[in-house]
Structure 1
Amino acid sequence: MTSPERTERLELAGVLTAAEAARTVAGIAAVQRADGAIPWFRGHHLDPWDHVEVAMALDAAGEHERAEAAYRWLADHQNLDGSWYAAYTDEPGGVNTAEPADRGRETNFVAYVAVGVWHHYLATGDDTFLDRMWPVVFAAVEFVLALQRPGGQIGWKREDDGAPVADALLTGSSSIHQALRCALAIAEHREEPQPDWELALGLLAHAIRRHPERFLDKSRYSMDWYYPILGGALTGPAAKARIESDWDRFVVPGLGVRCVLPNPWVTGGESCELALALWAMGESDRAVQILQWIQPHLRAPDGLYWTGYVYDDAAIWPEERTTWTAASLLLAVAALGGDEATTAVFSGDRLPTGLTPDCC
């Protein structure tokens, strides 16, 4: 089990003690397979985005070898076109498998490896790791940008048969915005300029900021509300205005953040991600408050977190404790505590911004 001494950096008053953080990290570690894969929970499935998020949480907790094993799994299972499938099966009982459960290839799932790789490098300073993962990141970014539309938005995915889905998701494209910035940071560190990526990033940022009509309307979902901020496309007064505009729609005082309207359901992942977005805006007090709210009804005795809570029925639903929910909590706490790697990838202060397009 991870010792509290290693997780002192993850202490946060009213949210986690070092011992509680150690228990959460140990709960995640218990789910990670021997081959490095990190499913939602044993016997469920793995998806590439959440797999990376959990690896980042392990790095924030000082579990660098476990995080590196997770990235090694991605390198070993990358498709020839640079992608990963949307989901892979996990068999109970410790059997290591990599059978696709969903052969779609979602662009935001594929892109997120760049965020994780840069985060791991910043946490460890391991140039050998970065050299090994650069071809993986490069191929992933090229796959994603092949689905960018003329308006800058990124098409959602390729279907099983390879057909592109041109419809774009605001949440997904906002996540890709962060990933492209991290990919460019890696390229700059390696002194391998990628001007096409810079142009693509600028186009994408402009679409997110100025052209909501280029994305599918998913405004019922809280992720579409805060992800342009979490992904770094909206900052300053624009970010503040966006958060205030829908605060009362999505935030349930004392409980957390709703996943989707009008359902009376608050979820740990959305609550922790909103907290991270609030921290990025400089609103740490509100961020801490939200993390405090979810502890009584979502933290389980084993240190993991239930996915969500239906407050009209006072019921946990679904009855699953997901690694990525715990990871989102640890990353929010790490940012609030000043962990350098985590603050670097989520504040965006030192990340490339791309080339501003001639539009509007």
Structure 2
Amino acid sequence: MRWEPVVETALSIAAVQEADGGIPWPEGHVDAWNHVECLMAMGVAGLTGPVRRGYDWLVRTQRVDGSWPMKLVGGQAVERGGESNHAAYVAVGVWHELLVTGDVGFAREMWPVVRSALDFVVGLQTTRGEIVWERAADGRPAAYALLTGCASIHQGLRCGVLLGERLGDPQPDWELAADRLAHVLTAHPEAFADKSRFSMDWYYPVLGGAVRGPAARARLDAEWAVFVVPGLGVRCVSDQPWVTGAESCELVLTLDALGDREEALRIFTDMQRLRHEDGSYWTGWQFTNEKWFPHERSAYTAAAVVLAADALYGHTPASGLFRDAGSILGERPAQDCGCSHAGSPA
């Protein structure tokens, strides 16, 4: 694969970056998770200036409790709750940037941000081990957890542990939290709200590193025919004729993490029909009506494409980031572990 089209896609992300450094959804709001994903993609392409402006945005908009508002427009919060998976993903981004650039000084500058963010996340862990999805603006924790969010948080905690060790500030509490979370993700499906119609709930436990080996392959095989549309890509939801670029490329990353390069390449090739002539990507394709849906090109879709390309072709030292997410998993307790109680976080 030529690398120039990948850089072109990363430049399409930089083109929508706002003056304050935020990278918005097509409708105009910024959230920390998608923002970080876009920074990672631009880092793969060597766009250091836009990347560092984006991290400056994170520093400025982080709140005292370590979280970010769920949605910001023009730097102002329009939805004030703080999502746990948004905060956790900052650790993935900073670790990724360190792998790409080797810039330890930058990682040290960002370490207080990461430490505060992951402490916020761990503060939302229940006694069973799942992490509820948000803390509301009034300080109350949510009543339930989300499977996809917790799978992403698992990767964030693992990256935070690695970053702390690299910077000489180990965080054993995060490692314990990640171990407990991984167990719940593998053994306690009842811990999570039912969002099974979404493909992310299908593959994310594998992508985030909590499920690997034969169990991961079995999980993907069980619903492959439900979510994968041959020749097109991956459905966003099981009950709609709609494939999306981000979900397709996240499945590419998942397959690559399991060593299934052939299938990963096939899915990556199939979703290229979403590419626009300027290097950006349409969010999705409604294949019954044969229309772009929604009629937008999203930075987060472009970001997923760039990260998938890096994983497949090994362009940067961070290309194995998602493969490595499950590399330190140990043995999990049996399913009759007796940890069914799920006391709420404070």
The structural deviation recorded for 1:350 is: 8.5
Pick from 48, 57, 69 the counterpart of residue 53 of structure 2: 69
DSSP 3-state at the match of 1:266 = strand
* Structure 1 counterpart of 2:286: 310
Unmatched tracts of structure 1, length 5 or more = 1-11, 90-96
Residue 166 of structure 1 and its aligned partner are, at CA, apart by 2.8
- What is the CA distance between 1:65 and its match in structure 2? 2.4
Q: Distance in 1 between matches of 2:245 and 2:81?
A: 26
Alignment of 1:68-147 (within 5 A): 68-89=52-73, 97-147=74-124
Paired residue type of 1:150: T
1:159 equivalent in structure 2: 136
1:267/1:349 Cα in 2 relative to 1: closer, same or farther (>3 Å)? Answer: closer
Distance 1:352 1:100 in 2: 37
Letter matched to residue 252 of structure 2: A
Question: Structure 1 residues 349 and 98, CA, compared in 2 at 3 Å: closer, same or farther?
Answer: closer
* Pair 1:45–1:349, CA change in 2 (3 A): closer
Q: CA contact under 8 A between 2:20 and 2:75: conserved in structure 1?
A: no
CA distance in 2, matches of 1:114, 1:356: 24
Separation in 2, partners of 1:122, 1:47: 23
In the other structure, the counterpart of 2:249 is 272
SS in 1 for 2:117: helix
Question: Is the deviation greater in 350-359 or in 240-249?
Answer: 350-359
Q: 1:352 to 1:140 in 2, by over 3 A?
A: farther
Q: Shift of residue 62 of structure 1?
A: 1.3
The answer to whether the Cα contact below 8 Å between 2:242 and 2:284 also exists between their aligned partners in 1 is yes
- The equivalent residue for 1:221 is 198
In 1, the alpha carbon distance for the partners of 2:204 and 2:326 equals: 19
The CA deviation string for residues 292-335 of structure 1, in whole angstroms up to 9 with x for no partner, is 11112x11122111111111100111111100100000100001
- Assess if the C-alpha contact under 8 Å between 2:206 and 2:254 holds in 1: yes
Q: Is 2:212–2:326's contact at 8 Å kept on the other side of the alignment? A: no
Distance between the aligned counterparts of 1:257 and 1:356, measured in 2? 30
TM-score w.r.t. the length of structure 1 is 0.89
Distance in 1 of aligned mates of 2:85 and 2:325: 22
For residue 167 of structure 1, report the CA deviation from its aligned partner: 0.3
- State the Cα deviation string for residues 223-277 of structure 1 (Å, max 9, x = none): 0000001000111111110010000000000111001121111111100000110
Deviations 1:159-206 (A, max 9, x none): 222211030100000000000000000111122222211211110000
Q: In the alignment, which residue of structure 2 is the partner of 1:48?
A: 32
Q: How does 1:277-316 map to 2 (within 5 A)?
A: 277-296=254-273, 298-316=274-292
- Which residue does the alignment assign to 2:239? 262
Q: In the aligned structure 2, how far is the partner of 1:293 from the partner of 1:354?
A: 35
State the Cα distance separating 1:153 from its structure 2 match. 0.5
Q: Separation in 2 of the partners of 1:131 and 1:354?
A: 29
Aligned-residue offset at 1:353? 4.5
Secondary structure (helix, strand or coil) at the match of 1:148 reads: coil
Structure 2 residue matching 1:348: 3-state secondary structure:
helix
- The question of whether the paired residues in 1 share the 8 Å contact of 2:208 and 2:325 is answered with no
Change (3 A) 1:23 1:195: closer
Identity of paired residues, percent? 50
Q: Quick one: distance in 2 between partners of 1:179 and 1:354?
A: 17
What residue number does 1:39 align with? Answer: 24
TM-aligned CA deviation for residue 355 of structure 1: 9.5
Per the normalisation by structure 2, the TM-score is: 0.93
Task: Identify the match of residue 297 of structure 2 among 315, 318, 321.
Answer: 321
Letter in 1 for 2:21: G
**Is 1:333 aligned with 2:309?**
yes
Q: Check the 8 A contact 1:206/1:357 in 2, yes or no.
A: yes
- Structure 1, residues 1-60: CA drift from partner, whole Å, max 9, x if none? xxxxxxxxxxx3xxxx3332232122111111233211124x611110000001000111
1:60-105 deviations in Å (ceiling 9; x for gaps)? 111122212211110111001000011111xxxxxxx201121121
Poorly superposed stretches of 4+, deviation over 6 Å = 354-358
Specify whether residues 355 and 34 from structure 1 end up closer, same or farther in structure 2 by C-alpha distance, changes over 3 A only: farther
How far, CA to CA, are the matches of 2:326 and 2:239 in structure 1? Answer: 38
Q: Distance between the aligned counterparts of 1:151 and 1:344, measured in 2? A: 30
Query: Are the equivalent residues in 1 in contact too, given 2:20–2:57 (CA < 8 A)?
Result: yes
- Report the AA paired with residue 219 of structure 1: S
Contact 2:31 2:70 in 1 (8 A): yes
Structure 1 vs Structure 2 CA RMSD = 1.7
Structure 1 Cα separation of the partners of residues 328 and 66 of structure 2: 23
**CA–CA distance in structure 2, aligned partners of residues 24 and 343 of structure 1:** 17
Counterpart for residue 319 of structure 2: 343
Evaluate the alpha carbon distance shift between residue 25 and residue 349 of structure 1 in structure 2; reply closer, same or farther with a 3 A threshold: closer
SS in 2 for 1:167: coil
- Residue 5 of structure 2 corresponds to 20
Name the residue aligned to 2:342. Answer: none
Q: Distance in 1 between matches of 2:4 and 2:175?
A: 43
